Amino acid sequence: MAVKLFRRWGASMCLAFLTLTSLASAHAQDLPGAKDHAAVKRLAGSAIVGYEVRNFDAVEFQTSTFKEFDLRTYQRRYAQPPLVLEGKLTRLWYEAPGATRSLELFRNYANDLAASGFTVLYDSTRDTSAGGYSNFLANFASGKRDFIKNNRSEYVMYAADASTVRTGTFQKGNTTVRVLTIDWAKDDAMYKARQGAYAAVDILETKAMEQNMVVVSATDIGKSLTANGKVAIYGILFDTGKADVKPESKPSLDQIASFLKAEPGVKLHVVGHTDSVGGFESNLALSKRRAEAVAAALTKDYGIAANRMVGNGVASLAPVASNSSDEGRAKNRRVELVLQ
């Protein structure tokens, strides 16, 4: 059964005659500007045909059998919840040489990572409960978030019998690696693909996001509400997928509370906004919970009357930037105060 996905992704002994090459080698056929990551070698003779680096992102790593994929919400379900980590993401697509195929390509990566001290968190080739098709979908990321620079096509498009797909998750220290290998059945001029095996490799280096947004002062909150009827607040922070206001949000909450105390007659809608990553319905509920959490914090910690604030959420319905980049998604994740 052939499947096409458009613009998505999310032992010490190597197999005979196939080896992972050192990182110092030059690869003239690589995508311009692309380079290997220091933590992961490539199969000798491979070329980088897709490459992207994101300073900060969240990645879902499979650690158990994939069960189902909801095409409506782009939600994946596993036997156990996946490992969700945040940090710097390097994403590579390798085109393997010659007659190399998916299984030998995957085993080379798995063996070399294990030999380099990585712990195996998941290996679909060792998972007797896994079906081929479910492995295929397990590691592709949600929705339209995963655009990647690619010299084969505008699309990241791999199609194959489901049985050719292998997936694995490997971890050492703060570095987590996801490997997906797949066979492309034949040369395809439309997609600029070559017959053979491809490897998608994600390397996430766990780190906290640097908070660079300027705290909006109480005075500026008042000015923006007067001029525009609303003001965007970027200094209120949440962990991925959660609605608990983080302690680092205090400077922004201080300014909102200062404004409300200076203007006792003002009532506000507190509106949560998300980027487009994940399912719309889940983001809609999440954005509302976050807005309500902000209102609750202002009441509990600052004594602002609860009837002066109404929390609601609009998910990704009101973007202020494109969701196709890290910078755009960061701008879209915000809390807005709107005059009632």
- For 243, half-sphere exposure in the C-beta direction (CA atoms, 13 angstrom radius) is 22
Question: Among candidates 226, 80, 95, 200, which has minimal Cα distance to 139?
Answer: 200
pLDDT interval class at 192 (50, 70, 90): low
Which tokens hold the place of 232? 């965007």
Q: What is the 3-state secondary structure (H, E, C) of 55-124?
A: EEEEEEECCCCEEEEECCCCEEEECCCCEEEEEEEEEEEEECCCCCCHHHHHHHHHHHHHHCCCEEEEEH
Name every residue whose Cβ is closer than 8 Å to that of residue 78 and which is 6 or more positions away in sequence.
Answer: 62, 63, 64, 65, 66, 67, 138
Name every residue whose Cβ is closer than 8 Å to that of residue 64 and which is 6 or more positions away in sequence.
Answer: 78, 79, 80, 82, 122
Q: What's the CA gap between 274 and 1, in Å, rounded?
A: 36
Q: What's the CA gap between 17 and 179, in Å, rounded?
A: 21
Task: Give the predicted TM-score (pTM) of the model.
Answer: 0.59
Residue 2's pLDDT is: 33
Residue 161's pLDDT is: 52
Residue 330, pLDDT above cutoff 80:
yes
In DSSP notation, 229-242 reads SEEEE------TT-
Instruction: Determine the 3-state secondary structure of 259 from DSSP.
Output: helix
The string of pLDDT tens digits covering residues 59-91 is 889 999 888 766 676 667 888 988 989 999 999
Name every residue whose Cβ is closer than 8 Å to that of residue 211 and which is 6 or more positions away in sequence.
Answer: 235, 237, 248
Q: What's the CA gap between 265 and 249, in Å, rounded?
A: 25
Burial state string for 135-151 with b = 16 or more CB within 10 A and e = fewer than 16: bbbbbbbbbebbbbbbb
Residue 262's pLDDT is: 96
Residue 277's pLDDT is: 86
Residue 222's pLDDT is: 94
Q: What's the CA gap between 247 and 250, in Å, rounded?
A: 6
Question: Among candidates 241, 315, 242, which has minimal Cα distance to 276?
Answer: 315
Q: What's the CA gap between 291 and 268, in Å, rounded?
A: 11
Residue 249's pLDDT is: 93
Residue 328's pLDDT is: 86
Q: What's the helix, strand, coil split of the chain in %, to 5? A: 25, 30, 45
pLDDT interval class at 226 (50, 70, 90): very high
| Enclosing H/E stretch for 260 | helix 250-262
The string of pLDDT tens digits covering residues 110-160 is 999 999 999 999 999 999 887 655 554 444 333 333 445 555 433 333 444
Residue 176's pLDDT is: 97
The string of pLDDT tens digits covering residues 6-45 is 233 332 222 323 445 443 344 448 988 899 999 999 999 9
Least confident segment among 62-66, 188-192, 200-204: 188-192
Greatest distance between any 2 Cα atoms in the chain: 77
Domains, the chain, with CATH or none: 20-206 (no CATH), 218-339 (3.30.1330.60)
Q: Do residues 311 and 292 touch, judged by C-beta distance below 8 A?
A: yes
Higher pLDDT, 221 or 215: 221
Highest mean pLDDT (candidates 71-75, 192-196, 291-295) = 291-295
Residue 5, pLDDT above cutoff 90:
no
Residue 213's pLDDT is: 59
The string of pLDDT tens digits covering residues 240-288 is 889 999 998 999 999 999 999 999 999 999 999 999 988 899 999 999 9
The string of pLDDT tens digits covering residues 310-324 is 999 999 999 999 988
